[in-house]
Amino acid sequence: MIIPFQAEAYSFRYLPKSRHRALALFFPGANVAFRRSALKPIEFYDEKLHSGEDTDAGIRMVQQGELFSTSSARVVHTANLSLRKLMLQWWRIAVYTVRVIRKHCDPGVEVFVRFGGGLGMDAQSRNVFYRELKLPFTAILFLTPFLFLNIFAIVSLMTWGNPVALSLTAVAAAIYFRSDFLGTKIPIGKRIVFAALRFVINLMLLYGSLLEGFKHRLLYLNYELDARRA
Amino acid sequence: MAGRLYYAAALLALRVWASSHRYVEAVLLCGSGARGNLRYGVSDLDIVVIIKDCDNASIFVARCCAELKLLATIFPMISVGPHEIVFKRSAFEQSVLVQRPFLLSVSDFSKFLYVRGSEVAISIPYRIEHELCTLNFLWDKLLIVTRAEPGSRYFRYLCDRLMQQFEALEDRLELPRRRFPDRNVTSTDLIVWHQELTDSVYQRLSIFRPQTVPDLSAELSAFEIPNRLFFESPFHSVQHDRVSLRLLIPSSGMSARLQAERLIRSLAERCDADYFLLDGVLLPLRGKLDILHQHTHRLTFHEVAGITEELSSVRSGVEEDLRACVGAVQDAPVSLKKVNREYIRGIRDDRNGVFALKCKDPGFLAKVFAVWKCEENGQVSECDIEAVRTIEETVKRERLYEAQFQLRSYLVHGEVRIANLQTSVLIITRNRSSYLRKALASLGRQTMMPSEIIVVDNDSTDDTPQVVAENVEQLPMLRYVKETRPGIPCARNRALRESSSDSDVVAFLDDDCVAAPDWLYLLTLPFSYDESIVSTGGFVEFSSEDATIWGEFYINQRSGEST
């Protein structure tokens, strides 16, 4: 079962604000309630998924009935994370998103365009192409500045520094890093740390899910993190 | 002269005050523009302080009010209203109150005007067209709100938009078009033009129009006004024969509201506390009018005139018959049902009850709906009365959210269906005993207590069992389960399996979360009113209190939730 924007919901693991409610096919495990009679079997969570189990549960729950977002029911979550935990969490997201998608989607091709804003609450995103095809594989592609940065960088490496490829790389890098360093109010030292973190995590997301996807006959180019304006 | 100087000083003080606050968008003079006011010497002007993202409960408003009250001690002509912050010249010109200063609250205003810096631009042209088309029936005075210089580009743009509206109105009224030699109309021209238009509207409708009412209470004491007419009208109108039309067309509320408010104040001595209900009813105004707007802006002028005729006939005849049989619905002004036909149709078409969940005054809407059903069926059944009573009681207990669900249930099913559900709260934890302590403490503060709480310990090595044991006294329904298989889904499944089969709803809370006191109540409420809902989810906020730099990055990325 795959519907347009479903891939977005998979990758967008977190409950968006109400205007994105259409995308909210699941609720985060930290703050969720179920009708007990709808949990069939009662061991509802997939024990093979060590991360993304709430996404999986949400997708299966949609088929049972209505999901209702009560954003006024609030919990406050601590953000006391170590670097190791942070990295581990993103790595899990990269890997298990693929598994959740593999579990639920039919073969097809989906292309998302994400320029400007990246993936965020206020993301400008478009699903430009969706096709359900009789293919042996599924392809879900997020076309992002980071992806182009990577492609051009690889091309310029392979062509031993072709000036065209190099300049394209530079442009892509400028577009990518622009959102890190423009319009933020974070002090510069922290901003550099954040940009580096974002770069590493984006690498993890892109290649982690790409490699994991190959194992499952799924071509999945992951979304990139956006530099949120704080 | 001294008065005017004093006034200018007060204005200056307000300006300085406003510019020192980021959340104060603008200080606006209603009448003929900021500079124009003193120049033209228009007498009935009020000042509106516009606050960004205003809502009545906003802390900024409270702060603004407090600060303005401080200002008011220096300048006695500043008076601070309950919801809108108003600056009146009444201290030295008593006539201001007698005439009709037209005020807009922020919430109304920010819809169609966008104020940035010293300029005014119309951000949603549709909105202003719409507002003006309906509203300029209501105004005696033309309102141009601007901080822009009268000659500036934006000001001219604004004038052009207004002119288009006037021309549209002329067409609608079938008046001869008023032509100007060029399109550069000044604000005084517009004021005169609007004055003429308003005159012709009133002339056309041949209704009473208070030119200068010396004292409203004196004026109104000539009429018998039953209490109920003063509140719970959708337009917050005073449904008084002579003024009803002026308030009939849904405005974005403030003129009608002020009118009503002023009447109520002037009548306060003679009336009981009932009147002050108005204030409670004022808040929901906008939610209700959203639907109204969709329909009424299509009404033509003749239809509007038709409605008034209808209204007068209804008031005499049908009302009494209905009143006899309605019982609990009796309070609702019966004349509503004619005026509100479109409105009710809007509600009825909304089968999923989306509107009901946004409605800020469910008790009122339930009454309207009941009256409508009464009209359709010829009688009101017991369950309608019961439903209205239930919803109103819930509103009185200040449980708006619940009342909205009850209303939705009433609109969709025709009755309020409530199911009493047992709730289990499930917490899975691993090596986070200090956070778990906080989470359990927050569960102890819940307004609605769960019937059981299960803590699944996913092979912790710290003092988690002790922490749970400490809390058993306070939370007798607390249970501790140890799950040796590692992994979140295993622990969650164990928790689900352990939850008693009597419970209808299971809610998960993370061990490093602190729940708000009404968390469980709000989260589980939808289950009891709607059988089709199988899952609800709330909002997860991040506290930056003890955040590491990595945590800050995480918050920066995720203003949503984390596992």
User: Contact at 8 Å (CB) between A51 and A93?
Assistant: yes
Q: How open is the CA angle A82-A225-A9, to the nearest 5 degrees?
A: 105
Closest partner residue to B537 among A15, A38, A47, by Cβ? A15
Determine contact: A81 vs chain B, CB below 8 A: yes
Q: B490 contacts in A (CB within 8 Å)?
A: 47
CA B412 to CA B401: how far, in whole Å? Answer: 17
How much is the pLDDT for B563?
28
Q: Return all residues near A21 (Cβ < 8 A) that are at least 6 apart.
A: A69
How distant is the alpha carbon of residue A14 from its chain centre? 10
Task: Give the nearest chain B residue to A17 (CA atoms).
Answer: B560
> Taking a C-beta distance cutoff of 8 angstroms, is the pair B421, B527 a contact?
yes
Distance from CA of A48 to the nearest CA of B (A): 8
Cβ separation B548–A82 shorter than 8 A: yes
Question: C-alpha distances in angstroms, A128 versus A29, A219, B521?
Answer: 31, 17, 41
Task: Please indicate whether, in this complex, the C-beta atoms of B504 and A35 are within 8 angstroms of each other.
Answer: yes
Question: CA B519 to CA B510: how far, in whole Å?
Answer: 13
Distance from CA of A23 to the nearest CA of B (A): 13
pLDDT at B158: 61
What is d(CA A70, CA A104) in angstroms, rounded to the nearest whole number? 26
List CB contacts (< 8 A) between A119 and chain B. Answer: none
Q: Which residues of chain B neighbour A24 with C-beta distances below 8 Å?
A: 537
What are φ and ψ of residue B232, in 5° steps?
60, 30
Size of interface A-B (CB pairs under 8 A): 260
β-strands A66-78, B533-543 pairing? parallel
CA dist., res. B231 & res. B239, Å (int):
9
Closest alpha carbon to A49 in A111, A86, A98: A98
Q: Which of B424, B519, B563 sits opposite A75 (nearest CB)?
A: B519
Token pair of B408, please?
């939705």
Q: DSSP strand E in B43-134: where? A: 46-51, 78-80, 85-88, 113-116, 119-122
Min Cα distance A214 → chain B (Å) is 25
- The answer to whether A31 contacts chain B (CB < 8 Å) is yes
User: If 0-12 CB within 10 Å is exposed, 13-18 middle and 19+ buried, where does residue B148 land?
Assistant: buried
C-alpha B369 chain-centroid distance: 20
- Which residues in A lie closer than 8 A to residue B512 (C-beta atoms)? 77-78, 80
User: And the tokens for B227?
Assistant: 């209490």
B370: distance to nearest CA of chain A, Å?
A: 27
CB-based contact A45 B489, cutoff 8 Å: yes
**What is the pLDDT, as a whole number, of residue A168?**
93
Q: What is the DSSP string of B12-33?
A: HHHHHHHHT-SSEEEEEEETB-
Lookup: tokens for B125: 């042209």
Enclosing H/E stretch for A195: helix A188-203
How many helices and strands, by DSSP H and E, does chain A display?
7, 6
Q: Choose the mutation target among A46, A56, A63, A80 for the interface with B, i.e. most B CBs under 10 Å.
A: A80
> Chain A 59-78, CB below 8 Å of chain B: which residues?
61, 64-78
Please choose, from the candidates B507, B504, B535, the residue with its C-alpha nearest in 3D space to the C-alpha of residue B427. Answer: B507
Fold for the domain defined by B423-529: Spore Coat Polysaccharide Biosynthesis Protein SpsA; Chain A (3.90.550)
Segment A118-145, tens digit of pLDDT: 444 334 445 555 555 666 777 778 888 8
Q: Select the residue from A74, A90, A180, A200 to test the B interface by mutation, using most B Cβ atoms within 10 A.
A: A74
Side chain identity, residue A199: F
Token duo for residue A215: 């194992």
CB–CB of B457/B480 below 8 Å? yes
Interatomic CA distance for residues B281 and B54, integer angstroms: 18
Q: What is the pLDDT of residue B315?
A: 38
DSSP-based three-state secondary structure for A14: coil
What are the chain A neighbours of B560 within 8 Å (beta carbons)?
14-16, 28, 121
Question: How many residues can be counted in chain B?
Answer: 563
- What are the pLDDT digits (tens) for A38-81? 888 877 888 888 887 887 787 777 777 777 777 778 888 888 88
ipTM associated with this complex: 0.82
Cβ-based neighbours of A47, under 8 Å, separated by 6 or more: B485, B487, B489, B490, B493
Query: pLDDT value at position B254?
Result: 40
Run of H or E including A74? strand A66-78
DSSP B273-336: GGGGHHHHHHTTHHHHHHHHHHHHTT--HHHHHHHHHHHHHHHHTHHHHHHHHHGGGGGS-TTH
Contact B545 A35 (CB under 8 A): no
Report the C-alpha gap between B447 and B16 in whole angstroms.
Answer: 44
Residue by residue, pLDDT tens for chain B (563 residues) are 566 677 677 777 777 776 666 555 555 544 333 333 333 233 334 455 555 444 444 455 566 667 777 777 777 666 554 444 444 443 332 222 222 222 222 223 322 222 222 222 222 222 222 233 333 333 333 444 444 455 666 566 666 666 766 676 666 556 677 666 555 666 666 666 766 766 665 555 443 333 333 333 443 443 333 222 222 222 222 222 222 222 222 223 344 444 444 444 444 333 322 222 222 222 222 222 232 333 332 232 333 333 334 434 433 333 343 343 343 344 444 444 444 555 555 555 555 566 666 666 677 667 767 766 766 666 667 777 778 788 878 877 777 788 888 888 887 777 788 888 889 999 999 888 888 998 998 988 888 888 999 999 988 888 888 988 888 888 888 999 988 888 888 999 999 988 888 888 999 998 888 888 888 988 888 888 888 888 888 878 787 777 788 888 887 776 533 32
Residue B175 CA to residue B178 CA, distance in Å, equals 9
Query: Using the beta-carbon criterion (under 8 Å), do B503 and A80 form an inter-chain contact?
Result: no
C-beta atoms of B519 and A24 within 8 A = no
Give yes or no for a contact between B257 and B302, defined as CB atoms under 8 angstroms apart: no
Of B493, B523, B560, the CB nearest to A33: B523
> Which one of B487, B488, B550 has the shortest CB-CB distance to A82?
B550
Asked if A129 has any chain B CB less than 8 Å from its own CB, the reply is no
* Res A213 pLDDT > 50: yes
* Coil, strand or helix at B504: coil
Nearest chain B residue to A63 by CA: give it. Answer: B534
The structural domains of chain A, with segments of one domain joined by +, span 6-221
Residue B540 has its nearest CB partner, among A28, A49, A81, at A28
Q: Which of A39, A78, A121 to mutate to test the interface with B (most CBs of B within 10 A)?
A: A78
Q: With contacts defined as CB-CB under 8 Å, which chain B residues touch A198?
A: 553, 557
Interface of A with B in 90-119 (CB under 8 A): none
Cβ atoms of residues A46 and A53 within 8 Å: yes
* CA–CA distances in Å: residue B369 to residues A168, B295, B332, B345, B394: 64, 17, 10, 10, 17
- Between these two residues, A165 and B79, which has the higher pLDDT value? A165
Contact B553 A35 (CB under 8 A): no
What mean pLDDT is reported for chain A? 75
**Token code pair at residue B345:** 């149709």
A193: its two tokens? 């740390």
| Higher per-residue confidence, A105 vs B435 | B435
Cis amide leading into A41 (omega within 30):
yes
Q: Which two tokens stand for residue A160?
A: 């031993």
Beta strands in B372-483 (DSSP E): 423-429, 452-457, 478-482
Measure Cα distances from B506 to A34, B199, B462, B558 in Å: 5, 64, 27, 26
CA distance A58 to A12: 12
Q: What is the largest CA-CA distance in chain B?
A: 88
**Residue B72 near residue B78, CB atoms below 8 Å:** yes
Write out chain A residues lying below 8 Å of B485, CB-based.
47
Strand, coil or helix: what is B53? coil
Mutate to test the interface with A, among B438, B539, B543, B546 (most CBs of A within 10 A): B539
Instruction: Say how far apart CA A86 and CA A83 lie, in whole Å.
Output: 5
